[in-house]
Amino acid sequence: MPELKRILCPIDFSEFSIRAYRYALSIASHYGARLFVQHVAELWRYPYADFAATAGLFDEFCRALREKGEEQLQQFVKTTTYDKVQPERIVQQGMAADCILAFAEDQKADLIVMGTHGRRGFDRLMLGSVTERVIRKAPCPVLAVNNPSHDFIGSDPQPGPVQLNRILFCTDFSENSQRALEHATSLATEYNAELTLLHVLEDAPTARRLKQVIAAATEQLDQLIPAKPRKAGKIRIKTTVRVGKPYQQIVQLALEAQTDLVTMAVRGRGALDLAVFGSTTHRVMQFGPCPVLVVHV
């Protein structure tokens, strides 16, 4: 990945954000990066804020809210941080997504690490509105961490070093995928990891043409492999082509290969597309067995 100097990890003290913090801490330790831990106090979560406003106590209420957030964040960092990493704490008031995006922009963050939750049934399109909006609008890649069945960091109480052994890069051969490939290749080089390039044929050709179409797609994948790492033999690179629903095949391969990290690109969309942005990326984050690095294009 292009050099990591500044990492931002938003914290709302949920189990999802706490898990994401373990990843942020471990990656920051590996790269020697500055780690910013941000908590945003959102007034809409406190219905009695309206009463404070009508009673002329609004400013006092907001101050107390920020002070409570600062105490919680200080205690959280104290009990969760290890090693030499000393996170910089930021407590703000406002809408979480707006504050996260603005801070990432101001600080020129190289990576945002966020927790997200997979859901099923009627809620399957919701990853969590804050995470979803940040992923669509972020000025840098976002590492989305839900409840992985396969971790690439050590276990509690200390996360330990990053153990990235297998990275899966997914491409539809669009221009949007190129930047995500750069990040996947850089990470594979940094950690001496195996990199698999995957393309999924969603519209299955007839049995007669299947071999021909797979061969053509495999050739396209081979052409994507950067010349420099290939010549230097610095990383192990494989290619594979599958047929079926893209998100299902990505998740299945990640499970079979015990993948540590999936890397994908996603385009920013307008407000009308909020609920269904990058549906393949979205569903891989929901159902995948490992964290997903989303590179915004």
pLDDT tens sequence across 224-259: 987 766 555 568 899 999 999 999 999 999 999 999
Q: Are residues 27 and 62 in the same domain?
A: yes
The answer to the question of residue 190 being in a domain is yes
**What pLDDT, on the 0 to 100 scale, is given for residue 209?**
87
Residue, of 147 and 196, whose pLDDT is higher: 196
Q: Are residues 138 and 260 in the same domain?
A: no
The answer to the question of residue 81 being in a domain is yes
What would the two tokens of residue 127 be? 């990853």
Q: Are residues 127 and 206 in the same domain?
A: no
Q: Are residues 133 and 213 in the same domain?
A: no
Closest CA to 9 of 154, 147, 27, 1: 27
* Residue 155 pLDDT exceeds 80: no
**What pLDDT, on the 0 to 100 scale, is given for residue 15?**
83
Residue, of 266 and 215, whose pLDDT is higher: 215
**What pLDDT, on the 0 to 100 scale, is given for residue 157?**
53
CATH of the domain at 41: 3.40.50.620
Alpha carbon separation from 173 to 15, 148, 183, 269 (Å, rounded):
36, 27, 16, 19
Number of helical (H) and strand (E) elements in the chain, helices listed first: 10, 10
- Backbone φ and ψ for 39, nearest 5 degrees, come out as -125, 130
pLDDT bracket for residue 135 (50, 70, 90) = confident
CA atoms within 13 A on the CB side of 278: 26
CB-CB contact of 259 with 169 (8 Å): no
Burial 90-120 (b: 16+ CB within 10 A, else e): bbbeebbbebbbebbeebebbbbbbbbbbee
CB-CB contact of 291 with 167 (8 Å): no
Alpha carbon separation from 176 to 47, 172, 244 (Å, rounded):
42, 9, 21
Q: What percent of the chain has pLDDT over 90?
A: 41
Residues with Cβ within 8 Å of 122's Cβ and at least 6 positions away in sequence, in order, are none
Q: Are residues 128 and 194 in the same domain?
A: no
**Cis, peptide link before residue 157, omega less than 30° from 0:** yes
Average confidence (pLDDT) over 146-159:
61
Q: Are residues 203 and 131 in the same domain?
A: no
Residue, of 235 and 275, whose pLDDT is higher: 235
Number of domains into which the chain is organized: 2
**What pLDDT, on the 0 to 100 scale, is given for residue 215?**
93
**What pLDDT, on the 0 to 100 scale, is given for residue 205?**
74
**Alpha-carbon distance 211 to 138, whole Å?**
40
Q: Are residues 52 and 179 in the same domain?
A: no
Domain that holds residue 60: 1-153
Q: Are residues 132 and 193 in the same domain?
A: no
Average confidence (pLDDT) over 23-34:
90
Q: What percent of the chain has pLDDT over 70?
A: 78
The answer to the question of residue 296 being in a domain is no
- Structure confidence by residue, pLDDT tens digits, 36-74: 999 998 765 655 555 555 555 667 777 888 888 899 999
Q: Are residues 2 and 148 in the same domain?
A: yes
CB-CB contact of 129 with 97 (8 Å): yes
Tokens 């997504």 sit at which residue?
97
Of 106, 132, 153, which residue sits at a domain end?
153
Of 124, 153, 182, which residue sits at a domain end?
153
Q: Are residues 97 and 123 in the same domain?
A: yes
Q: Are residues 10 and 33 in the same domain?
A: yes
End-to-end CA distance of the chain: 15
Burial class (CB in 10 A: 0-12, 13-18, 19+), 218: middle
Q: Are residues 103 and 178 in the same domain?
A: no
Average confidence (pLDDT) over 164-168:
93
Average confidence (pLDDT) over 150-168:
69
Of 153, 184, 203, which residue sits at a domain end?
153
- Structure confidence by residue, pLDDT tens digits, 78-131: 888 876 778 999 999 888 999 999 999 999 999 999 988 644 433 334 446 788
